[in-house]
Amino acid sequence: MRIRSSLTGLALVAALLPLPAQALEIFACEPEWAALAQALAPEARISSATHAYQDPHYIEARPSLIARLRRADLAICSGASLEAGWLPALQQRAANPKVQPGRAGMLFAAEHVETIDQLDHVPFGAGDVHPEGNPHLHLDPERIRQVAAVLSERLGRADPEQAAQYRAAYLRWSLSWQQRMDKWRERAEPLRGRTLVVQHSTFDYFWRWLGLEVVADLEPKPGVPPTPGHLASLVEDVKAEQPLAIVHSWYQDPQSAQWLAQKTGLPVLALPSTTEPEQGIERLDQLFDHLLAQLLEQVDAG
Ligand SMILES: [Zn+2]
């Protein structure tokens, strides 16, 4: 009996002690938002539904992703229909009230910044375009900061006991981010006014931020893969323009860019459109450092 009562006593003491803080579960649709969450909530358990070698417009609603979304306290995605082909199915099957559309736990970045290229209406046959504008807003450092402010507030709502810590982490991050932005702008000076050939509007925010201009897109229409006819139609203009490079994302097939490079003598530049820890690009500042270095290398080589 004595043993039993002392066990009961122990159980009682344990029940009175504060529980170890439960780590927040964060579901990111893309690696860039996982990286941002990591910077603002280093204690959280964070996972990304996609990686740098995947096209975030099209992924499969796998059961493992449903399970992760089911556990999430907070989800962060680009929005502006980027995930329209797969996230609604995940939300429905995960049946997690915290991350349903409209809830504070479901953060769509595009709802908190001004997107570029918004359309009043989508003309028939326009391709894969969205009236809400370009969803690839994470490639603008300034918009990243705007999203970070919202994310910090949502972290505090999801985990009120740690709200002050999230706020402090955001303020620290924001200060160092501003310093980095100043340096990036300075470093990017030789890129201003230069031109590029691209494949999809993935980096449009970044080009605008840097003052780079797109002279041709390998896609005949947004989201429509390059066709031989369209590529052939670009050759003369591109030759005359002499852009810095033909850029494609890591997740894209390089064939079209290589074909045009052969015809024009331009270099091909494969760039990561998001963070990729296995390539040493774990944080967002490392992503922008990498992108800038790659572009500046082209200036030096040219
Ligand atoms: Zn896109």
Chain centroid to CA 301: 29
- Tokens coding 59: 């992924």
Measure 112 CA to ligand 1 centroid, in angstroms.
Answer: 18
Measure 23 CA to ligand 1 centroid, in angstroms.
Answer: 33
Measure 80 CA to ligand 1 centroid, in angstroms.
Answer: 10
What's the rounded Cα separation, in Å, for the pair 43 and 84?
Answer: 30
Alpha helix stretches (DSSP H) within the chain: 2-16, 31-40, 63-71, 87-94, 141-158, 163-187, 204-210, 228-241, 255-264, 284-301
- Sign (positive or negative) of CA dihedral 90, 116, 188, 216: positive
Q: Give the pLDDT score at 150.
A: 98
Measure 50 CA to ligand 1 centroid, in angstroms.
Answer: 14
Measure 83 CA to ligand 1 centroid, in angstroms.
Answer: 10
Measure 202 CA to ligand 1 centroid, in angstroms.
Answer: 6
C-alpha distances (whole Å) from 288 to each of 23, 113, 191, 197 are 29, 19, 14, 19
| Residues 273 and 202: beta-carbon distance below 8 Å | yes
**Helical (H) or strand (E) element with 74:** strand 74-77
CB atoms inside a 10 Å sphere around CB 128: 16
Measure 151 CA to ligand 1 centroid, in angstroms.
Answer: 22
- For the chain, domains (ranges, CATH) are 25-116+126-184 (3.40.50.1980), 188-301 (3.40.50.1980)
Measure 177 CA to ligand 1 centroid, in angstroms.
Answer: 25
| Residues 104 and 160: beta-carbon distance below 8 Å | no
pLDDT in tens, the chain (302 residues): 444 445 455 555 555 555 556 899 999 999 999 999 999 999 999 999 999 999 999 999 999 999 999 999 999 999 999 999 999 999 999 999 999 999 999 999 999 999 999 887 766 676 666 789 999 999 999 999 999 999 999 999 999 999 999 999 999 999 999 999 999 999 999 999 999 999 999 999 999 999 999 999 999 998 899 999 999 999 999 999 999 999 999 999 999 999 999 999 999 999 999 999 999 999 999 999 999 999 999 999 98
Measure 31 CA to ligand 1 centroid, in angstroms.
Answer: 15
C-alpha distances (whole Å) from 203 to each of 30, 248, 276 are 15, 9, 16
Measure 200 CA to ligand 1 centroid, in angstroms.
Answer: 7
Contact partners, residue 4, CB within 8 Å, separation at least 6: none
Measure 21 CA to ligand 1 centroid, in angstroms.
Answer: 38
Measure 214 CA to ligand 1 centroid, in angstroms.
Answer: 15
Measure 274 CA to ligand 1 centroid, in angstroms.
Answer: 13
How many Cα atoms are found within 13 Å in the side-chain-facing hemisphere of 10? 6
Q: Give the pLDDT score at 18.
A: 52
Q: Give the pLDDT score at 119.
A: 81
Measure 9 CA to ligand 1 centroid, in angstroms.
Answer: 60
Q: Give the pLDDT score at 1.
A: 42
Measure 223 CA to ligand 1 centroid, in angstroms.
Answer: 7
C-alpha distances (whole Å) from 273 to each of 30, 32, 167, 242, 289 are 10, 9, 28, 24, 13
